């Protein structure tokens, strides 16, 4: 929320800088309370910083890289984020969509964000083992190659330390329980914190 303090003899307070999170159900607190999700927890942490930052969660369950690409221009215009976190690709992978298409969509989103003077953090995802090594390795390479070529920050695997712990995952094996979300945030924070300046 943007807050301006105005009055006689009162300087106008600077609005908090914004981190925009564009993701899918992994960032949209799927089947858990919004207050338990890692993006909400991120917003709480950002609010304690000086100067303050704020998080805008534009994540939608079921979002693909193409739909995220289509939504991003309006989000950039609305929120003018200083940092854009892109967490997309899981639904592309689960639907078996082509990796070149995923790469093109992610590259376009990175370019849009950077053109808007935002720093970018790319959050990678892993596919279940039944998708085979060729597809899984190819998916990993999309994120690492884009991060290198577009000079973005990268979290190779959003659910690192969570996905293989049944006590932290929902029964679908894809989404964290509320108990796993703080660990997801810690994974993101390591790469996000250096961008907050």
80 belongs to the catalytic site: no
24 belongs to the catalytic site: no
Distance of alpha carbon 48 from alpha carbon 121, whole angstroms = 21
Distance of alpha carbon 5 from alpha carbon 154, whole angstroms = 36
Distance of alpha carbon 69 from alpha carbon 153, whole angstroms = 19
61 belongs to the catalytic site: no
DSSP string, 137-195: HHHHHHHHHHHHHHT-EEES-TTTTTTT-GGGB-TTSSSB-GGGHHHHHHHHHHHHGGG
Residue tagged active-site, from 115, 167, 172, 197? 172
Residue tagged active-site, from 24, 25, 92, 147? 25
Residue tagged active-site, from 24, 59, 65, 175? 175
Return the active site residues.
Answer: 25, 172, 175
């Amino acid at each position: 929320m943007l807050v301006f303090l105005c009055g006689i003899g009162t300087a106008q307070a600077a609005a908090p800088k914004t981190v925009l999170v564009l993701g899918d159900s992994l960032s949209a607190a799927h089947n858990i309370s919004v207050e338990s999700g890692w993006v909400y927890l991120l917003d709480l942490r950002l609010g304690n910083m000086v100067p303050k930052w704020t998080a805008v969660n534009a994540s939608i369950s079921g979002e693909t890289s193409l739909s995220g690409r289509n939504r991003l221009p309006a989000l950039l215009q609305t929120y003018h984020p200083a940092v854009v976190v892109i967490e997309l690709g899981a639904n592309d992978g689960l639907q078996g969509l082509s990796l070149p298409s995923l790469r093109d969509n992610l590259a376009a989103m990175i370019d849009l964000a950077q053109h808007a003077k935002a720093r970018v953090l790319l959050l990678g995802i892993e596919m279940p083992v039944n998708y085979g090594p060729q597809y899984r390795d190819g998916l990993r390479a999309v994120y690492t190659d884009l991060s290198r070529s577009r000079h973005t920050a990268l979290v190779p695997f959003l659910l690192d330390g969570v996905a293989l712990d049944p006590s932290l995952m929902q029964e679908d094996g894809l989404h964290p329980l509320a108990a796993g979300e703080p660990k997801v945030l810690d994974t993101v924070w390591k790469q996000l914190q250096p961008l907050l300046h």
